[in-house]
Amino acid sequence: MARAIRLVAVALLLLTWAATAGRPAFAQADTGSVPTSEEELARLSDAELRALLLERLEAPQEEETGTFNPADTAFALQAALAELRGRLGEILGTYDQLPGALGRAAVSLVDSEEGSFARFAGLFALALAAGAAAELLVRRRTRAANAAEADAAAVFEPATAEAVGPTALAARLSHAVTAAAGHFLLVALFAGVAATLFLVAHDGPNRERVTFAFYLAAIVVLRVIGGISRAYTAPAAPRWRIPAYSDGEARRVHTGVLATMAVGAFGFFTCSVFAVLGVHGDVHLLFLMSVGTLLTLCLAAAFLASRRAIAHDLGADGGWGEIAAGPTRRRIARMAPWGMAVGTLLIWCWLVSTSLLGGPPLFGAGLGTIGLLVLWPSLDAALAREALRTAATAGALTPAVLTVARVALAVVVLLLLAVAWRIDLTHEGSGLWAATVRSALEVGTVVLVAYAGWAALRLWIDRRIAHEDAQAVSDGVDPAEAEIGGVGLSRMRTLLPLFKRAGQATILVIAVLVVLSSLGVAIAPVLAGAGVVGIAIGFGSQTLVRDIVSGAFFLMDDAFRLGEYIDLGSVQGSVEKINVRSLQLRHHRGALHTVPFGEITTLTNYSRDWAIMKLRFRVPFDTDVEKMRKVMKQVGKDLLTNPEIGQDFLQPLKSQGVVEVDDYGLIVRTKFMSKPGKQFLIRRHAYAAMQKALAENGIAFAKPEVRVSIDKPGRADDEALAEALEPAGAAALTAVTRGRTAGE
C-alpha cells in the first residue's frame, strides 16, 4: 500500500513538473532543493513526498495563456446558455408552489399567537404615527429657516428655469442639495423615533421585529428617493427646478418616480420578509424574479410615459428656449427615453443571468446603474445649457468651468459604475471589463486634465490680450485707424497669440500620447517614427524650416509688433497677423500682403520711439526771413496748446531757416518731432496754421512763373511780330475750342 501511494505521488509530481517546465524551481524548507530524478525521489520518505506534493498543489499556478479560439468561446457560450436554460426552467417550474409557500409564511406571521398580529399591526401604526408627529413638529419649528417648497412657491414668483439668469444653475444646485439634506435629516428623525418606540414597546417574537425593520427601511428608502426627486424636479417651485421641465412634466416625472420606487422598495423588502418567514430555494428566487421583472417593466413604462419631458430636457426640440442645441444632441435626446427603457430591460436580464449562473447577485448595482444613467444625462444637459447661456460673455470663466465639470461628471459616473459592479481598477485586476474600464477612466482623467489646462491657458491668455488691448486704447493706440508709422501694440500683445497656439499644441500632443499609452499603445516607436518623419520633413522642406527659424529670431529681436508699420523693400504696411512661418501686412490702401519670414532681408520699422517730419515753404525773394522765423516760432507755440495734437509733440515746430534758393523764391524749412503715426495729423494742422499766420503778417507764398522779355524797336516791328504770331494764336484757339467740345 505504501509503495502504491509512493508511485502515485511520483506520477503526480512528474506531471506537475511537465506542466510547469521552464518555471523557477520550487524551494523546499526541509529538503533544500527539488528532486530532479527518480533516484532522488525514491530516497524521500512518505512524509516528505506528501509535504512536497501539498506544496506543489498549494502553489499559485500561472494563468494559462494561448491564442484566441472562437470555437472555444462559442462552446463556452453554448454551455452557459444551456445551463441558464436549465436553471431557469427549474425555477419557473416551482410556480405552482409559490402561492402555498407565501400563504404559509403569511400564516406564520399572523397566527403565531392569539391577538399577536393585531398588537404588532397597532404598534407598527403607532410607531409610524409617532415618527411622523415628531417630524411634523420639527418641520413646523424650522419652517422659517428651511423654507418648505409650498412657502417658496408663495414667496417667489413662478419663473421658468430659462428666466432665472446666467448664474442660476449654481444657486439651483445649492438649493437642491440643501433641501435634500434637510429632508434626509427629517426622514432620519422619523425613522429614529419610530424604531425606538417600536423596539421599546414590542415584546413579541423576533420575526415581527425583522418585519418592522424591513418595512420601515422600505418607507425610508422611498422617502429618501422621493426627497431627491422633489429637490431635483421641484414640481411646486419652478424657480429652483434644475431640468428643463414644465410644471406638468415635473409633476408627472416626480409621480412616476414615487410610484416606481414604491413598487421596488416594498416588493424587494417583502421578498426579504418572506425569506425570514421560511420561503427559501427556487420558490423564493421565483418570487424575487417576479418582483424584479415587475419593477423593470414599471421603470421602462415610466421612461416611455415621460419620453417627451426627458427628450425636451435633453434638447430634442431644437434647444431650450432661446438656447439652441446641436443636431447631434437633438438626435440623441429623441432616442434617449427609448434607450433608457431598453437599457433597463437589458440590465435586469444581465442580473438574472449572472445570478442563475452562480455569480454574485448585484441587484443594488443594477438599480444604481439605472439611476446614474438617468440622472447623468439630465445633469449634463443642465451644465450644457448653462455653458451656452454664458458663452456670449467675452472672457467669461463660467463656460470653461462648466465644460470641465461635464467631463468630471462623466469620469465620476464611470468610477461609480466600476465600484458598483466590483470591477478591480488596479493594475492587478484582470479581465476584459477591468482593462476596459481602467483604460476608460485613465482616458477620461487625461481628457479632463488636458481640457482643464487648455481652458485655463486660453482664458489666461485671452484675459491678458484683453488687458493689453484696453491699455492700448487708453494710451490712444488704435491700429485699425492708425496712419503710416503709427504706434503698434506691446511686445507681450504680439507674442501672446503665439504662446497660446504653442501651449495648446503642446497640451494636445501630450494628451494624445498619454491616451495612446493608456490604451496599450507603445509610444516609444511612435516617438521614434515621428522623429524620423521630422528629419525627413526638415530635409525636404528647408524653406519651411528657414521661414520658421527666421521668424523666431525676428520675434526674439523684437523687430516688429502687431500694428506697427514696416517696410520690407518690396512691400510695406501695418503688421496685422503673425503666423508660424509668415506675417501679414495691411497696406494703407487696403491690400493685404503675406510675406514668409525667410524672404525678409531688410526691415524698416516706422513705428518705434519717435518720428521727425520736415515741412518746406517757398516764399518770394524779398521776404523778411527774420520775421518769418518769428511767425513760425509762434505757430509752433500755438500748436503745442492745441488740445487735439498738443500731447503728440515731442519737440515743437521750429524754423530751420532758408535751406535752398531756386528759380522761384526762397525755400524755408521747418521741422518737428512727434509720436510715431501722429506726424501726419500734425502736418495737416501745421499747414493750415502756417497759411493763416503768414497771410496775417503779409507774407505770401511764391508761385512758379515764366517771365519773357521782348525788345520793342518800333511799330513796324510790332506789326510784323503780330502777323508772325497770328497762326500760332489761331491754332491755340482751335485747340481750346476742341477741348471744350469734347468735354461737353
Whether residue 155 sits in one domain with residue 120: yes
Whether residue 688 sits in one domain with residue 551: no
Task: State the cell numbers at 170.
Answer: 449654481
Residue type (1 letter), 337: P
Spatial contact of 672 and 652, defined as CB atoms under 8 Å apart: yes
Greatest CA separation for the chain:
172
Q: How far is the CA of 26 from the CAs of 48, 56, 63, 97, 694, in angstroms?
A: 14, 8, 17, 56, 115
Give the CATH number of the domain where residue 681 resides: 3.30.70.100
For residue 590, pLDDT over 50 is answered with: yes
Range 96-114 average pLDDT: 76
Q: Is residue 719 part of a domain?
A: yes
For residue 26, pLDDT over 60 is answered with: no
Whether residue 740 sits in one domain with residue 690: no
Task: State the cell numbers at 85.
Answer: 436554460
pLDDT of residue 10: 39
DSSP string computed for 455-493: HHHHHHHHHHHHHHHHHHHHTT--TTT--TT-----HHH
For residue 626, pLDDT over 80 is answered with: yes
Residues 693-719: pLDDT tens digits? 888 888 888 877 766 666 655 555 556
Closest CA to 250 of 160, 320, 328, 188: 160
Q: Is residue 240 part of a domain?
A: yes
Q: Is residue 260 part of a domain?
A: yes
Quote the mean pLDDT of the chain. 78
∠ CA 455-460-461 to the nearest 5 degrees? 100
Question: Confidence class of residue 541 from pLDDT cuts 50, 70 and 90?
Answer: low
Q: Which of 147-156, 397-406, 566-575 has the lowest mean pLDDT?
A: 147-156
Whether residue 718 sits in one domain with residue 691: no
For residue 20, pLDDT over 60 is answered with: no
- Report the share of the chain in percent with pLDDT over 70: 75
Spatial contact of 264 and 217, defined as CB atoms under 8 Å apart: no
Q: Which of 404-408, 591-595, 735-739 has the lowest mean pLDDT?
A: 735-739
Task: State the cell numbers at 457.
Answer: 491657458
For residue 85, pLDDT over 60 is answered with: yes
605, 623, 643 - which closes a domain: 605
pLDDT of residue 489: 65
For residue 593, pLDDT over 80 is answered with: yes
Q: Is residue 392 part of a domain?
A: no
Per the DSSP assignment, residues forming a β-bridge with 565 are 574
Q: Is residue 426 part of a domain?
A: no
Residues 220-247: b if buried by 16+ CB within 10 A, e if exposed: bbbbbbbbbbbbbbbbbbbbbbbbbbee
pLDDT of residue 31: 42
For residue 585, pLDDT over 70 is answered with: yes
For residue 318, pLDDT over 90 is answered with: no
Task: State the cell numbers at 714.
Answer: 518800333
Whether residue 719 sits in one domain with residue 581: no
Residues 429-451: pLDDT tens digits? 556 666 777 777 788 788 888 88
pLDDT of residue 733: 57
pLDDT of residue 715: 54
Whether residue 563 sits in one domain with residue 531: yes
Range 112-120 average pLDDT: 72
Whether residue 671 sits in one domain with residue 597: no
pLDDT of residue 393: 55
**Cα–Cα distance between 524 and 446 in angstroms, integer?**
19
Helices (DSSP H) in 326-431: which residue ranges? 327-356, 363-390, 398-420
Q: Which of 261-275, 486-500, 664-678 has the lowest mean pLDDT?
A: 486-500
- Report the share of the chain in percent with pLDDT over 90: 17
Whether residue 654 sits in one domain with residue 726: no
For residue 112, pLDDT over 70 is answered with: no
For residue 302, pLDDT over 90 is answered with: yes
pLDDT of residue 708: 64
**Cα–Cα distance between 242 and 174 in angstroms, integer?**
11
Q: How far is the CA of 371 from the CAs of 213, 299, 368, 410, 486, in angstroms?
A: 25, 10, 5, 14, 63
Task: Say what angle helices 206-233 and 247-276 make with each other, to 10 degrees.
Answer: 160
pLDDT of residue 713: 56
Residues 326-362: pLDDT tens digits? 678 788 888 999 999 999 999 999 988 888 888 777 8
Question: Confidence class of residue 6 from pLDDT cuts 50, 70 and 90?
Answer: very low
For residue 273, pLDDT over 60 is answered with: yes
Whether residue 651 sits in one domain with residue 517: no
Residue 530 lies in domain: 448-605
For residue 587, pLDDT over 90 is answered with: no
Range 363-375 average pLDDT: 87
Domain count, the chain: 5
556, 580, 605 - which closes a domain: 605
Whether residue 180 sits in one domain with residue 301: yes
Q: What is the H or E stretch that residue 573 is in?
A: strand 572-578
pTM of this prediction exceeds 0.85: no
For residue 743, pLDDT over 80 is answered with: no
pLDDT of residue 565: 84
For residue 304, pLDDT over 60 is answered with: yes
Q: Is residue 461 part of a domain?
A: yes
For residue 498, pLDDT over 60 is answered with: yes
Q: Is residue 48 part of a domain?
A: yes
Residue type (1 letter), 427: H
Residues 370-419: pLDDT tens digits? 888 889 999 988 888 887 777 655 455 667 777 778 888 888 888 888 78
pLDDT of residue 462: 80
pLDDT of residue 145: 55
Whether residue 600 sits in one domain with residue 661: no
DSSP string computed for 392-410: TSTT-SHHHHHHHHHHHHH
**Residue found under cell 509762434:** 634
For residue 364, pLDDT over 60 is answered with: yes
Whether residue 616 sits in one domain with residue 594: no
Per the DSSP assignment, residues forming a β-bridge with 244 are none
579, 605, 631 - which closes a domain: 605
pLDDT of residue 621: 86
Task: State the cell numbers at 290.
Answer: 417576479
pLDDT of residue 716: 57
**Cα–Cα distance between 166 and 392 in angstroms, integer?**
10
For residue 547, pLDDT over 90 is answered with: no
Q: Is residue 436 part of a domain?
A: no
Range 201-226 average pLDDT: 91
Q: Dihedrals φ, ψ of 489, to 5°?
A: -80, 175
